[in-house]
Structures are given as C-alpha cells and as structure tokens.
C-alpha cells in the first residue's frame, strides 16, 4: 500500500473535519508494520467461525429464518444476520449456543436519520441482538461531510455499548479515497468492524478493497467482506487479503465446497 497516498488522504480528512468544526485528532495511517491477516483455517468446516450466515431478503419467511438458524447451529457459524423484525425469533432459536443474533441498522441505504438509527439499535438490542451491522450515511461520505458521518456512527456506538458494531461503507458506490476516509471515520467513531457492502448495492467485496481497509484500520480491528462471496475460494481470498469476517447468504454452500446461489 502506498504510504504517501495514505498520508495524503489522512491529512485531507483532518483538514476537512477541522473546517467542519471537529476538534480532535485523526489517527495517521502510515508507518505501520505490514498488517497481520487472519490465518486461513484448514478445512472448510473450520471456516465457519468467520461467517455471518445471512438472510436479508424482504420476503424472508419465518420458516426460512428457522432453517438458517438450524444451519448455523449445525456448522457453528459466527452469527445469523437477519432483518430486525426477525431478531426476537432468532434470539430464541439461538439461545444457549455460541451463534450470535445479528441485525442491520439503517439498511440498506444508510439514509435514515441518526435518531432513527439510534432507536433501531436500541430496539434490536432489547429484542436480543448481539451484533449490529449499520450502513453509514453514504451520501454524506461522498460529498465530504465527514463530521456528519462521524457523528452518525458515534451516536449508534453510544446507543449500543458492549454490542459488536460493524459499519457498512457500500464500497461499490465509492472511490478508493472514500474507502480510506470512511474506514478511518469508522475506527475513530469506536466501531468494531468496517464492512464492504450491503449486498443490495452495486458491486460487492473485492480483494483490493479489503486490502485497503486492512491497511487503514491496522491489525487489531475487524474487517468484514460482504457482497458476492459465494464459494470457498472467494472466502479464503478475502481472509488472506485481511478480512476477519465474511457476510454471505451462501454459508452452507461455502462449507460444503460448492458455489452458492445466494444473491449476497
């Protein structure tokens, strides 16, 4: 990764935030040792601990939700990620297991008000969610309103203490510069992961974008690849590039070594 370019992006972000009234420091993304990436586990079954088993279709039935929870219990996926309406049921089905109930906030556009996202987060936690995947304010990031992006994420972080918070950039809509600055803002806001995509926008996770995100956030921060990861080889490539979590509706296909038919 070009350290000079990363330094320039960090400095431009810091200047923009200062002009927008932010009174704090921006961590410089340079002079680090090469980031450590997660070790790829041997055997497909051991890959399950990286996977958020996902069902976010608007027409998802209660029966389909039950099925993915049963699959998650069988393979011991890291979480089951569903729309907020299904979280109480998922929390009930996963009770007593190591699989975490996960839901989405401001999904899929990120264009909800901050108050709406905060209330969604509080409601999800009250219903049993242990992990939250929120979409940041994509429009604000693109137009350079970085203070708005930062405060939006931080408000959700403050509303969900102790809960794993992943922040979706929707990389298919972004330039490389946006990805760098967005990743810095996610880390500054106190989230736990930066994530590529919703799976409902243009494009999805790429190895190049994962490498950029890992270089920006350093070795001790979560990076989630989501969108278009449908087979074992792609999942492994994302982990080798720096991903520590994989979001996919093809979790069982990946573990079985076949290509999934899921859309995200």
- Whether 195 is catalytic: yes
Cα 201 off chain centre by: 14
Q: Which of 52, 192, 195, 209 is catalytic?
A: 195
44 noted as active-site residue: no
Of the candidates 32, 164, 44, 148, the residue with the CA atom closest to the CA atom of residue 102:
164
Other beta carbons within 10 angstroms of residue 19's beta carbon come to 11
How confident is the prediction along the chain (264 residues), in pLDDT tens digits per residue? Answer: 788 999 999 999 999 999 999 988 898 775 455 555 666 666 677 899 999 999 999 999 999 999 999 999 999 999 999 999 999 999 999 999 999 999 999 999 999 999 999 999 999 999 999 999 999 999 999 999 999 999 999 999 999 999 999 999 999 999 999 999 999 999 999 999 999 999 999 989 999 999 999 999 999 999 999 999 999 999 999 999 999 999 999 999 999 887 656 656
Whole-structure pTM value: 0.94
Give the single-character DSSP code of 48. Answer: G
What distances in angstroms separate CA 2 from CA 54, 215, 224, one per listed residue?
34, 10, 22
7 Cα distance to chain centroid: 24
Candidates 52, 133, 152, 209; catalytic one: 133
All structural domains of the chain, each given as residue ranges with its CATH number in brackets, are 3-22+42-256 (3.20.20.70)
224 in catalytic set: yes
**Is the CB of residue 82 less than 8 Å from the CB of residue 90?**
yes
Active-site residue identified among 117, 166, 187, 224: 224
């Amino acid at each position: 990764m070009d350290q000079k370019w990363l330094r320039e992006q960090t400095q431009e972000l810091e200047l923009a935030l200062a002009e927008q009234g932010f009174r704090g420091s921006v961590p410089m993304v340079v002079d680090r040792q090469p980031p450590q990436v997660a070790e790829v586990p041997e055997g497909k079954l051991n890959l399950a601990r990286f996977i958020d088993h996902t069902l976010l279709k608007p027409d998802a039935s209660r029966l389909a939700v039950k099925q993915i929870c049963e699959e998650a219990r069988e393979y011991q996926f890291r979480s089951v990620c569903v729309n907020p309406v299904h979280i109480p049921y998922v929390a009930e089905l996963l009770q007593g297991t190591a699989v975490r109930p996960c839901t989405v906030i401001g999904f899929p556009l990120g264009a909800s008000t901050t108050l709406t996202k905060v209330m969604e987060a509080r409601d999800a936690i009250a219903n049993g969610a242990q992990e939250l995947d929120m979409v940041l304010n994509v429009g604000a990031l693109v137009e350079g309103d970085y203070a708005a992006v930062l405060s939006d994420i931080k408000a959700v972080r403050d509303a969900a203490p102790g809960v794993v918070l992943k922040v979706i950039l929707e990389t298919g809509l972004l330039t490389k510069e946006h990805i760098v600055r967005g990743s810095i803002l996610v880390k500054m806001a106190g989230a736990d992961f930066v994530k590529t995509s919703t799976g409902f926008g243009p494009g999805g996770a790429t190895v190049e974008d994962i490498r950029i995100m890992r270089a920006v956030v350093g070795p001790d921060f979560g990076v989630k690849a989501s969108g278009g990861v449908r087979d074992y080889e792609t999942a492994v490539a994302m982990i080798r590039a720096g991903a520590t979590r994989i979001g996919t509706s093809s979790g069982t296909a990946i573990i079985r070594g076949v290509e999934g038919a899921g859309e995200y």
